[in-house]
Structure 1
Amino acid sequence: MTRKFTRAALAAAAFCLATQAMAQDSDHGEALYTQFCATCHGAEAMGDGPLTDLLTTEVPDLHGLSARNDGVFPMLEVIHIIDGRTGVRAHGGPMPVYGDVFSRNGRGDMDYGSVLETRGKILSLAYYLESIQD
């Protein structure tokens, strides 16, 4: 039993390190932004994506998050918005509209590795948003 635990612990540690490195890669965060966020928030994160004309909710300018927060990037708030904890509504449903991709809870059958991968995506995206502040 100790060997199984040790292997599992080593595997989890290796995955955490890989996920942490991935989370700090701004290219990964930018790719996630382009794939999941730009349609509403725009390619330059100015709130002017191609779907804004179809929305009933104003899309925020993500470049000015720090400026609107006395020069400090609101990292925890951004993470909570991405993972759906804040209850921000868009498109008639909770934000984000991509379901389990950024859900803090994910599917009921998610294994530990999937949870870590989801958290890595959220952190990558948040770091990217922090990097583009005015």
Structure 2
Amino acid sequence: MKKLTGVLALSLSLFAGCRSAGDSSVRPDASSPPQTGTSQDALTGDAGASPTPSAPTALSDAERQAKEACLDQWLKARQLDPYGNADGTMYMGGTPLFNEATGETKDRLEFVYQKQPESKKACLEAGVAPPGK
């Protein structure tokens, strides 16, 4: 029993030492997420508008479907996958839209528009307004 208590005490002290030595998975200030990339407001041009919780942009279902249909046609014509990369690209976790380290999920339209800006221009020329317009 004495050996077990010693092992337990040693393992707890090692565990505490590992955590305090700088665990990179824990942010020093976990209250606010780090800024990554362009803000939603900057992409949509609606600095004062707040998006609805169910959708990253304040689009109606019909607007969103029209934008996705235009984008999907544009991607298919260029033999790109639904995320704007070469067809057949494999992703860890199944999608590039989810960051497993931060738990953040990106909107597919905004992700592809940022990666392939010409897709957004092509859909604008086709008469599909950009997000938030």
Global fold match (TM > 0.5):
no
Q: Which has the higher contact order (CA 8 A, sep 6+)?
A: 1
Normalised by the length of structure 1, the TM-score is 0.30
| Greater radius of gyration (CA) | 2
